[in-house]
Structure 1
Amino acid sequence: MSTVDLHEPPTAAVEQPRRLTWHGVSTVARLELIQRLRSSRWKIVLALWFVGVGVICLLITTATTSMTSYSSNATPIGQWIFGMNVFFILFMGLLVTPSLGSTAINGDRNGGTLAILQASLLSSWEIILGKWLAGWTTSLAFLIASLPYIIWSLAAGGVSVWSVIVVVAVMMFILAVVCAVSVFWSAKMVKTATSTLMSYFSVALVSLISLLLFGLGLVVIQHDTQVRVMQPSEWSPTTGNPTACEPVTTTRTDLGMDYLWPLLAINPFVLVADSTPQHSEDMASVETPLQAIQVGVRLARANPVDMGWDSEWCNEDGSVVSQAEYNKRTETTQEDLAGAVWPYGFVFYVIAGGLALFGAERRIRTPVATLAKGVRIA
């Protein structure tokens, strides 16, 4: 009869392997997608998505055509249709995507199927990345269904193929990060309703609350400073233009946008607009919705101080400039704008997505020392 050495320490629990293989990731993603495809609801939702987006894009096209028909602006109508359709499709994508990964982990945990994956040869990274890949693939299905309406603008003219490629790639990247954050909340929270709520709150934080904080920040940070400048003192009775200048002390308002522009850089709509190639080399001529956002956010980063229309007439020595020079000073040229903000937004999203996936992997790593209240094993 065998004997047991009571002095021998117990064998430690075998830790779940942390290897990462494409076979493991694709297996989890395939299982997740097959489970979703078995339901007939996704077909109905996808069909409603295609029809709904098509109706809205058709209305946008009709409204844009009507407005431009009464305008003398020579901007091709395709640029307006492209910009409005892109914003609407991105908005709809941000509404749908959080729900695709917000129940990926806690839903399986509550159903008792997550423990089966954890007990297999799959590593925690393969499970998390497989769940994330399945959610991202599903979101891309909705984006692909919207591509005909984005390409629609090409027929109207004024939009390059490169612009379409860049916009689609950026939207795919944003949806990937949203899926990663949703998977994290699914692994973090016990209840599926709570994880879904936190996923939508994360999207609202970067898309809506960031704009609100920017606006409130302008009110809080702005301050007035006393400066001594040259201002007109005499005017021509015929032209009304200044003829002489004198030094005066006046108040200038600094909005402090150079401190607040990062709040705009993380906004998904700003990220898409600022990364889109411009259709015109003249940054001062804002002709499309994408250009308007791009010029606005780069101007905010430059934080221009309004010197007033009257000060633009005067030089530092008190001399008066010509009408042509005044017009040049009052125009917003490319030199007045700061650099692009989209690289900072990309870095933020990469860090946020990476931390979300890392945090989700930590939550399902086995063996588990302690479990949260209400969490089941199998």
Structure 2
Amino acid sequence: MSASRIGTIVRLELTQRTRSLAWFVLLGVFAVLLIIVTVLSFAAWGFAEEPGSAIFSTIVYITLLLVVLVSPTLSGNAVNGDRDAATLAPVQVTLATTGEIIAGKFLAAWITGLAFVAVSVPFLLIATIGGGADPLTVLVSLVILVIEIGVISAVGVALSGILARPLFSVASTYLVVAALVIGTLIAFALSGYTVRSEATNSYRSYDVGTGASGSFPCFPGEEPSADYPCDPELEIECGDWQTDTYEVPRFDRVWWMLAPNPFVILADATPSRFDESGYPVDLFGQIKTGVRQAQQPPDLETRWDDCAPLVMEDYPTPEEMIDGSTPSWFVGLALQVVLAAGLLWWAWARTRTPARQLPPGTRIA
């Protein structure tokens, strides 16, 4: 491939986009939405000890959400739109190869998506400076954000080369993106409730009476204290053990379905920050906690004894649970890259000339 020819195609694509007034209106609307989100984030997270981390993560997620909503429209007709306008064939008869054309349109779509990130940079700086966001968190989250925009752009450009009609390719791009963003959540929830295991709960209660002074009996191994002045001479009448069986969903067996989700990848790959109690201080850590918690198997045998002294169980904090669980962002990102690369190869095969097989009704020149 020739870098100069790819650069020429990128410049042509970007020039066509920047000539449109609608492009600048879209960026302006995006900036207004970010202003609203930033103001609301400062109002919502102002009570936190480290508001900058929470505000920064909120702006990053809103940026990714808006790019997910807009990018398919910008990249979903990159190839077949030129074919319908009879501008693709003149490019194909030049020295530019099919691979260079596809690569140039992909890079142009990626740069177009990065324009939204550029608009969000001032707001991210405000969140970073105003609240003290961690530099490593800022760096990693922005890198993942840029990569996710590239994946979505690649899918849109590829489908525009595979499908003949721009409307269908844009709609198909939205469907693929929706499958990654929403479909993974639906598949995870439905599969988790479908794959169930039987759990048992054993328990027994007690019957107590009161002494002449109105005191209650002591539990086995319990001594009277100022907080609980029990009477050791009174006896507890323990009931019989009872066992209930029920079914519990096994999300720990299907948690991997969330791995290709762009929002999960962003949260799972970004280093988490926690407060003194071990709880996350931003949206990255909160979403990561939910995903890592889904990896934990449920307790299939529980026991509750009212006749025994109450023992306070020590549950792991989100920080401890994350440290003891398995990250999945690199697997999900690899799946996305394989999907995008496979679609781009298919688009190259459908666009190259002379073409062995074209979609029905495809315009040649």
SS in 1 for 2:191: helix
Match of 2:225 in 1: none
Partner of 1:16 in structure 2? none
Deviations 1:260-293 (A, max 9, x none): 2122111111111111111138895244322121
Cα distance, 1:347 vs. partner? 1.1
State which drifts further: 168-177 or 279-288: 279-288
SS state at 1:310 partner: strand
Q: Aligned match of 1:56 in 29, 34, 37?
A: 37
Instruction: Kindly state the Cα deviation for residue 304 of structure 1 after the two structures are TM-superposed.
Output: 3.4
Task: Please say if 1:272 is aligned against 2:253.
Answer: no
Partner of 1:260: 254
1:349 aligns with 2:330: no
Q: C-alpha displacement at 1:322, in angstroms?
A: 7.3
Provide TM-score, normalisation by structure 1. 0.81
> Aligned residue for 2:320?
334
- Does residue 103 (structure 1) correspond to residue 97 (structure 2)? The answer is no
- Match of residue 28 from structure 2: 47
Matched to 2:198, the amino acid is D
Identity of aligned residues (%): 29
363, 366, 372: which is aligned to 2:353? Answer: 366
**Whole-angstrom distance in 2 between the partners of 1:146 and 1:267:** 22
Residue 77, structure 1, aligned to residue 64, structure 2? no
1:249–1:99 CA distance, 2 compared to 1 (3 A): same
Residue 176 (structure 1) aligned with residue 162 (structure 2): no
Q: Measure, in 2, the Cα distance between the counterparts of 1:321 and 1:150.
A: 52
Please point out which of 101, 118, 139 is paired with 2:113.
139
For residues 200-349 of structure 1, what are the structure 2 equivalents within 5 Å? 200-226=174-200, 237=216, 249-251=243-245, 253-280=247-274, 284-305=278-299, 308=302, 310=304, 323=311, 326-329=312-315, 334=320, 337-349=324-336
Deviations 1:137-162 (A, max 9, x none): 01101111111212222233242111
The counterpart of 2:88, out of the listed 93, 107, 114, is 114
One-letter amino acid matched to 2:43? T
Q: Which moved more, 1:275-284 or 1:137-146?
A: 275-284
Distance 1:47 1:234 in 2: 68
Structure 2, unmatched stretches of 5+, are: 209-215, 223-237
Matched, 1:193 2:167: yes
Residues 24 and 122, structure 1, Cα contact 8 Å, conserved in 2? yes
Q: Per the alignment, do residues 25 and 302 of structure 1 end up closer, same or farther by CA in structure 2, a change over 3 Å counting? A: farther
The total of aligned residue pairs comes to: 342
RMSD of Structure 2 on Structure 1 (CA): 3.0
* Secondary structure of the corresponding residue to residue 338 of structure 1: coil
Are residues 249 and 276 of structure 1, via their aligned partners in 2, closer, same or farther at CA, if it must alter by over 3 Å? same
| Unaligned ranges ≥5, structure 1 | 1-19, 69-73, 315-319
Match of residue 152, structure 1, among 115, 119, 126: 126
Q: Identify the range of structure 1 (161-170 vs 336-345) with the bigger mean alpha-carbon deviation.
A: 336-345
Superposed displacement of residue 64, structure 1: 2.9
Structure 1 distance, partners of 2:304, 2:221, is 9
Task: Give the SS at the match of 1:211.
Answer: helix
User: Are 1:93 and 2:80 an aligned pair?
Assistant: no
Offset, 1:115: 1.0
Give 1:186 deviation, angstroms. 0.5
Query: d(CA) in 1 for partners of 2:168 and 2:200?
Result: 51
Residues 186, 196 of structure 1: 8 Å contact kept: yes
Bigger shift: residues 237-246 or 344-353: 237-246
Query: Counterpart of 2:245 in 1: which secondary structure?
Result: strand
Mapped to 2, the partners of 1:170 and 1:242 lie a distance apart of 56
Deviation at 1:183, TM superposition (A): 0.8
Q: CA deviation at 1:233?
A: 6.1
Q: Which residue of 1 aligns with 2:211?
A: none
Structure 2 counterpart SS, 1:298:
helix
Q: Supply the distance in 1 between the matched residues of 2:115 and 2:69 (Cα, whole angstroms).
A: 14
The amino acid that maps onto 1:369 is R
Does structure 1 retain, via aligned residues, the 8 Å contact 2:99–2:348? yes
Superimposed CA distance per residue, residues 163-202 of structure 1 (whole angstroms, 9 cap, x where no aligned partner): 1111111011001000010011111111111111111111
String of CA shifts for 1:318-339, please: whole Å, max 9, x gaps: xx6874xx33147666258421
Residue matched to 1:7:
none
Q: Does 1:34 align with 2:15?
A: yes
